[in-house]
Chain A
Amino acid sequence: MGDVDPLMERPMRIALAQIDCRLGNIPANLATHGEALRSAREAAADFTLFPELSLTGYRLRSSINRVMLTDDELQEMTRRLCDAGALGAEQYAAFGCVELSPRAVVYNTTLLIQGCAPAPRFRHRKVYLPSYGMFEEERYMHPGDRFRTLDVLLKDGETWRIGVLCCEDAWHDSAWLIMQARGVDLVLVPSASPGRGVENERLGSQQSWHGILRTQAEFCGCYVAHCNRVGFEDDIHFWGGSAVFAPTGEIVAEGKIMGPDLVLCDLDKRVLTRTRVATPLIADENWDLTLRELRLAREEVVRGD
């Protein structure tokens, strides 16, 4: 290590593990996770994000019962993941799995783990399970009931407030509003977004996603890290193109379209500060008004319906 200015804040290095998953093949997927984690460690990443349902693959349908995991089994999985990826004690990772709760409720869960600690630091159960058009998640899983954040302390003493919006969650403005209200610094968006819409230069899916994430990064004054899957499952393909959006709305790192990739990006707290001071949208937010008017609007609409 050279001379480091003790006053200069160290950036957080995030790795987006844009992987392909084998449907229902947890051992193969664990190996892929391990490879990505080792690469991320070599690249000195503090945090590695995997796509939605990265341990199992996405379209499990009625075979979901073959890959759902209880808390005990998830802890065992965390241990294996840690071993396979040589995860350092200071390193964090977020991966996707099918969680079976003690009351036998099935969730689409993103688990955040630190080093080899067996208990997860944080879990997000996907709230919005799309069940329209080609999607049928709610047929097989149950929605989560909260959007929370976790304060992650990095090894240099810097704290980042992190939230998770899993795929469809990020298509709900209200979820972002909650993230804003919680003062989030970084929103992790794992996804399994199918590619569709081939009329333009870029896939229709990519255009929609980028429009949403760029806007929300600006509105929330936070970083947004989107890790999207690649590969085929039967008939659908996932387009990758994982990216990090700065609070200015700029894309500061971007992965390949339609191929595995490891996207590295340094996130800088000072950028958050500068953007929030220059454009104090969150500080200016009138939460009392918002909550009052939202409640009123809902009551009136419900009455009107």
Chain B
Amino acid sequence: MQDPRYLLNINPELVRRILVEAIRHTGEAIRGEAVGRWVVNLSGGLDSAIVAFLACEAVGPENVRALLLPYRTSMPASREDAMRVVEALGIGYQVYDITAAVDGLYQSKADDPYAANKRAKGNVMARMRMIFGYEECERWNALMLGTIWGDSASALNLIADLYKTQVRQLARNIGVPQVIVDKAPSADLEPNQTDESDIGFSYYAVDSVLVRFVDMGMLPDEIKADLWATQGDLSIDWDAAVDKLCGVATDAAMRPGLVDIMEYKRRMTPIVPKISRATIELDYRPPKQWGR
């Protein structure tokens, strides 16, 4: 077995070859065409950027189309970053403002979109982008390339078997603009929201815990001991991170972790090209309602 300290380090060239081959194979398997066409919704973030880069490498920029789908509250910087990707790759793109479509849903319900529940509205926005993507696919005889966890609305969930820190390594290798690699990942549902502040830990901390829990099959107490012993970064409260992600189990009671609670989102997934030793669904198949 590997030393968990090094499991988050990837050889980006190997990963790149596997994923490029996955895009080609899937296009051929589904469409029966040697070169498929792919639609990518570009958010301006890292995941969709890297997927667009890999798609271009697999089928050429002429067979990749980007959609930029801002809502009226989306950060202008997101659109600028998405355009950086479009320009770097020389791919065709469309900008569709989804405000009318999203607000229209609330109007159909005679609700005020301005007063809507934030989480529900955020999900409506994500699903509206999916609908725009699928409409474009039908129009252009293309397939949808998805990005990461839980986002099941695609034909190929290309980078779902990579941790965020690994996605960054791959992004540097493949030439994603530096500003996108460096920016804080965000759902961009409200100004200055970031994933890391939502979770309460950095991706580095989260990935360090997950690689031990999921890939190595270590138990929470072992993970804590290992992280305190091997990680130089003492500013992270590893105990809290492990408790939050993996849950807590004492003789008296148990509380499922974020990993367990989110399990229901990880089924009925599109194809996930295998990279790691423990791929969701293929190797890692826990019950959906662990502890509940």
A residues engaging B (CB < 8 A)?
133-134, 194-201, 203-204, 231-232, 234-237, 258
A197 to B271 Cα, complex, angstroms: 19
Q: What number of A-B contacts does a CB cutoff of 8 Å give? A: 59
Q: Contact: A199 with B11, CB < 8 Å?
A: yes
Q: Taking A231-B25, A236-B274 as contacts, is the C-beta distance between A201 and B18 under 8 angstroms?
A: no
- Assembled-state Cα–Cα distance A236/B25 (Å): 11
Q: Is B15 an interface residue (CB 8 A)?
A: yes
- Whether B6 contacts A199 by the Cβ 8 Å rule is yes
Contact between chains at B11 and A200 (CB < 8 Å): yes
A-side contacts of B22, CB under 8 Å: 232, 237
Q: A134-B279, A235-B279, A235-B282 are in contact. Are A196 and B11 (CB under 8 A)?
A: no
Instruction: Write the nearest CB–CB distance from B277 to chain A, whole angstroms.
Output: 5
Tell me the smallest distance from the CB of B271 to a CB of chain A, in Å.
5
A237 to B17, CA, bound (A): 11
Interface hub of B9, B17, B26 (most chain A Cβ within 10 A): B17
Contact present for A235 and B18 (CB under 8 Å): no
Asked if B283 and A235 sit within 8 Å, CB to CB, the answer is no
A235 to B282, CA, bound (A): 9
Listed A/B pairs (6) with beta-carbon separation below 8 Å: A196-B276, A196-B277, A197-B2, A197-B276, A232-B29, A237-B25
Contact A198 to B15, CB < 8 A, known contacts A134-B282, A235-B274, A237-B22: yes
What is the minimal beta-carbon distance from A235 to any residue of chain B, in angstroms? Answer: 5
Which residues 261-276 of B have a CB within 8 angstroms of A? 271-276
Report B1-43 residues with CB < 8 Å from chain A CB: 2, 6-7, 9-11, 14-15, 17-18, 21-22, 25-26, 29
**A196 and B21 alpha carbons, distance in the complex (Å):** 14
Interface size class of B (residues with CB under 8 A): 20 to 34
B29 to chain A, nearest CB (A): 8
Contacts A203-B14, A235-B279, A236-B282 given; indicate if A196 touches B274 (C-beta within 8 A).
yes
Residue contact B274 to A194, C-beta cutoff 8 Å? yes
Specify which of B14, B29, B275, B279 lies most central, judged by the most chain A CB atoms within 10 Å of its CB. B14
B9 nearest in chain A by CB position: A199
CB-based nearest B residue for A237: B18
Q: Is B275 in contact with A198, judged by CB distance below 8 angstroms?
A: yes
Interface of A is mostly: loop
Chain A neighbourhood of B272, CB < 8 A = 235
Name the B residues within 8 Å of A258 (CB-CB): 17-18, 21
Known A232-B29, A235-B282; 19 more pairs at CB < 8 Å: A133-B278, A134-B279, A134-B283, A195-B274, A197-B276, A197-B277, A198-B10, A198-B15, A198-B276, A199-B2, A199-B11, A231-B25, A232-B273, A236-B274, A237-B25, A237-B273, A258-B17, A258-B18, A258-B21
- A195 CA to B275 CA, complexed, in Å: 7
Bound Cα distance from A232 to B17, whole angstroms? 12
Across the interface, which residues of B come within 8 angstroms of A133, CB to CB? 278, 283
Question: What is the CA–CA distance of A195 and B21 in the complex, to the nearest angstrom?
Answer: 12
- Measured between beta carbons, the chain A residues less than 8 angstroms from B276 are 196-198
- Say yes or no: A237 contacts B277, CB within 8 Å: no
Residues on the A chain within 8 Å of B18, using CB: 195, 198, 237, 258
Assess whether A237 is in contact with B11, with CB atoms less than 8 Å apart. Answer: no
The B65-103 residues at the A interface (CB cut-off 8 A) are none
Q: CA–CA, A237 to B20, complex, Å?
A: 12
What separation, in Å, do the CA atoms of A199 and B9 have in the docked complex?
5
Most interface-central of A195, A198, A232 (chain B CB within 10 A): A198
B275: chain A residues at CB < 8 Å are 196, 198
B11, A201: Cβ atoms under 8 Å?
yes
A246 CB, nearest partner CB in chain B, Å = 27
0 or 1 for each of B223-264: is its CB under 8 Å from A? (1 = yes): 000000000000000000000000000000000000000000
Shortest beta-carbon distance from A135 to chain B in Å = 9
